[in-house]
Amino acid sequence: MYDPKNKRFKNVEGFTDFPSPEKLDGTGYYYSDHKMGCAGGMWGSELFYIKNFKAVATARIYIVTCHKEDYETGVFIYDIQGKKEKLTARLKSVPLKYNDDSDYFMDYWGKNYKKFE
State pLDDT tens for residues 48-100: 999 999 999 999 999 988 876 777 889 999 999 999 999 999 999 888 888 88
Would you state the pLDDT for residue 112? Answer: 97
Is residue 46 predicted with pLDDT exceeding 90? yes
Q: Are 113 and 45 in contact (CB under 8 A)?
A: no
CB 79 within 8 A of CB 55: no
Domain of residue 47 covers 2-116
The per-residue pLDDT for range 2-39, each reduced to its tens digit, is: 888 888 898 899 999 999 999 999 999 999 999 887 76
Quote the number of domains for the chain.
Answer: 1
Burial 54-87 (b: 16+ CB within 10 A, else e): ebebbbbbbbbbeeeeeeebebbbbbbeeeeeee
The structure's pTM equals 0.88
